[in-house]
């Protein structure tokens, strides 16, 4: 085998796309997927590649340092792509300790296991940490009505400012605070010990295999069952959206050609106000289900806003385009069509994970709606 790469969180949403891409594209790499299989981890996300000869699944917790030490030795790991995390902001508001444990202590344990095993021999090694744009805080909504010419005249359609790689960290939720802390630890391992590290901060991902507590799969599933569509506040928050396979492609490019100790922002230049995005989803699902188009808009239900809800995220990913030639491959209309189609075609995948524990969580979040 040419390389042995440890991918953590590979049974989750983004991780499963990264594992699939690496297993298929690099038959001469051994890909170890380490995942605890929390509520968000699902081996059904990887059915199509699970028998590949260059793929190994290991069930384990990134906070378990002894297990990590043994894993590095057993497989002679030379690269890490670290995605394992608690990832849902609403859950972090209810249970911040779990986020500090996994995202901060888990990342630290992984760094420490890599440092011990690599023992100063950094040649050919890389610790690549996947993070979020939420660490940068929130931007102003200076063009609240949206300005299609925004991209040309500077900034995005909803405001002049973007997050760049130089933007100061200013996290507001327990989730983003825990990710910010883990990013700092990764950079500190480079600055203190010389470990070859990389950090990328990406905007909101969408696509197949996303756990249905997140907006897009949640709404597709609710429309299918004609259940209310809970919209925070008045749906005015703005997010940038990137198709998950484009994120996985960016991770591949950066893992192989990124500059060590550097940071890259990854985004879609694709800002949407939540309420407008929801209307696009409604129209697409209605059309694909054969409902009168837009008829499910009646399900939109405004609910009390999320505490500390950041108004606008918008990411400037021009550095990645300029230096490594990556850019999103899919137009949003195409990505949303593919995504809705996938969830409607894979209803049993959705039904399997929305029963049991998740159903209880959902009821407690949305008061039985
Ligand atoms: P996810 O919640 O779908 O998956 C997380 C995975 O990590 C799951 O498979 C889970 O079982 C595993 N995991 C959780 N705790 C673990 C532990 N202690 N030990 C081992 N495995 C554990 O998350 P996602 O949306 O795929 O996000 C993946 C990464 O990308 C995260 O680090 C997240 O912060 C980051 N990110 C996500 C987005 C997004 O839009 N989803 C955007 C930018 C960055």
Out of 83, 127, 241, give the residue to mutate to test ligand 1, the one with the largest number of ligand atoms within 8 Å of its CB.
Answer: 83
For residues 354 and 25, the model is more confident at 25
pLDDT at 149: 59
68: CA distance to ligand 1 center in Å? Answer: 18
User: Is the domain covering 3-210+242-270+307-331 a CATH 3.40.50.970 domain?
Assistant: no
* pLDDT of 57 strictly over 70: yes
Could you give the percent of the chain with pLDDT greater than 90? Answer: 86
- The band of 324, judged by pLDDT with boundaries at 50, 70 and 90, is very high
For residues 141 and 49, the model is more confident at 49
pLDDT at 221: 95
Instruction: Give 196-226 pLDDT, tens digit per residue.
Output: 999 999 999 999 999 999 999 999 999 999 9
**175 is an active site residue:** yes
Residue 204, ligand 1, Cβ within 6 A:
yes
Residue 178, ligand 1, Cβ within 6 A:
no
Out of 63, 66, 85, give the residue to mutate to test ligand 1, the one with the largest number of ligand atoms within 8 Å of its CB.
Answer: 85
Out of 8, 40, 131, give the residue to mutate to test ligand 1, the one with the largest number of ligand atoms within 8 Å of its CB.
Answer: 40
3-class SS string, the chain: CCEEEEEECCCCHHHHHHHHHHHHHCCCEEEEEEECCCCCCCHHHHCCCCCCCCEEEEECCCCCHHHHHHHHHHHCCCEEEECCCCCCHHHHHHCHHHHHHHHHHHHHHHHHHHHHHHCCCCCCCEEEEEEEHHHHCCECCCCCCCCCCHHHHCCECCECCCECCCCCCCCCCHHHHHHHHHHHHHHHHHHHHCCCEEEEEECEEECCCCCCCCHHHHHHHHHHCCCCEEEECCCCCEEEEEEHHHHHHHHHHHHHHCCCCCEEEECCCCEEEHHHHHHHHHHHHHHHHCCCCCHHHHHEEEECCCCCCCCECCECCHHHHHHHCCCCCCCHHHHHHHHHHHHHHCHHHHHHHHCCHHHHHHHHHCCCC
Instruction: Give 224-240 pLDDT, tens digit per residue.
Output: 999 999 999 999 999 99
* pLDDT of 241 strictly over 80: yes
- The band of 369, judged by pLDDT with boundaries at 50, 70 and 90, is low
**133 is an active site residue:** yes
Instruction: Give 272-315 pLDDT, tens digit per residue.
Output: 999 999 999 999 999 999 999 889 999 999 999 899 888 999 99
ipTM value of the model? 0.99
pLDDT at 293: 86
Residue 238, ligand 1, Cβ within 6 A:
no
For residues 326 and 1, the model is more confident at 326
Catalytic site residue from 134, 240, 246, 286: 134
Residue 171, ligand 1, Cβ within 6 A:
no
Residue 247, ligand 1, Cβ within 6 A:
no
Which ligand 1 atom is the nearest neighbour of the CA of 106?
Answer: 18
Residue 41, ligand 1, Cβ within 6 A:
yes
pLDDT at 200: 98
**134 is an active site residue:** yes
Instruction: Give 333-357 pLDDT, tens digit per residue.
Output: 999 999 999 999 999 999 988 876 7
Instruction: Give 118-174 pLDDT, tens digit per residue.
Output: 999 999 999 999 999 999 999 988 888 887 656 545 678 998 899 999 999 999 999
The residues spanned by each domain of the chain are 3-210+242-270+307-331
Catalytic site residue from 133, 240, 246, 286: 133
pLDDT at 222: 95
């Amino acid at each position: 085998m040419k390389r042995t790469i440890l991918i953590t969180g590979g049974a989750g949403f983004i991780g499963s796309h990264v594992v699939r891409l690496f297993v298929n594209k690099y038959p001469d790499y051994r890909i170890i997927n380490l995942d605890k299989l929390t509520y968000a981890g699902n081996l059904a996300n990887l059915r199509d590649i699970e028998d590949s000869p260059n793929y190994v699944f290991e069930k384990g917790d990134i906070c378990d340092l002894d297990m990590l030490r043994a894993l590095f030795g057993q497989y002679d790991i030379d690269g890490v792509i670290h995605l394992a995390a608690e990832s849902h902001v609403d859950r972090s508001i209810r249970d911040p300790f779990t986020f500090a444990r996994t995202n901060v202590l888990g990342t630290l344990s992984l760094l420490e296991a890599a440092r011990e095993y690599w023992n100063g021999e950094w040649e050919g090694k890389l610790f690549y940490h996947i993070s979020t744009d939420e660490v940068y805080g929130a931007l102003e909504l200076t063009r609240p009505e949206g300005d299609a010419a925004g991209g040309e005249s500077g900034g995005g359609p909803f405001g002049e400012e973007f997050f760049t790689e130089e933007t100061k960290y200013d996290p507001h939720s327990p989730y983003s605070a825990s990710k910010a802390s883990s990013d700092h630890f990764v950079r500190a391992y480079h600055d203190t010990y010389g470990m070859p590290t990389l950090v990328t901060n990406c905007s909101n991902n969408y696509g197949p295999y996303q756990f249905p507590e997140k907006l897009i799969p949640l709404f597709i599933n609710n429309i299918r069952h004609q259940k209310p569509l809970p919209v925070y506040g008045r749906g005015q928050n703005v997010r940038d959206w990137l198709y998950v396979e484009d994120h996985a492609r960016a991770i591949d490019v950066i893992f192989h050609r990124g500059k060590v100790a550097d940071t890259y922002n990854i985004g879609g230049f694709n800002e949407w106000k939540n309420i407008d995005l929801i209307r696009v989803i409604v129209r697409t699902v209605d059309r694909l289900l054969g409902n009168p188009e837009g008829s499910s808009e009646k399900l939109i239900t405004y609910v009390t806003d999320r505490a500390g809800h950041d108004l606008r995220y918008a990411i400037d990913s021009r550095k990645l385009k300029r230096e490594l030639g990556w850019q999103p491959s899919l137009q949003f209309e195409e990505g949303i069509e593919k995504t809705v189609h996938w969830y409607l075609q894979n209803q049993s995948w959705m039904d399997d994970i929305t029963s049991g524990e998740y159903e209880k969580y959902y009821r407690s979040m949305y008061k039985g709606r």
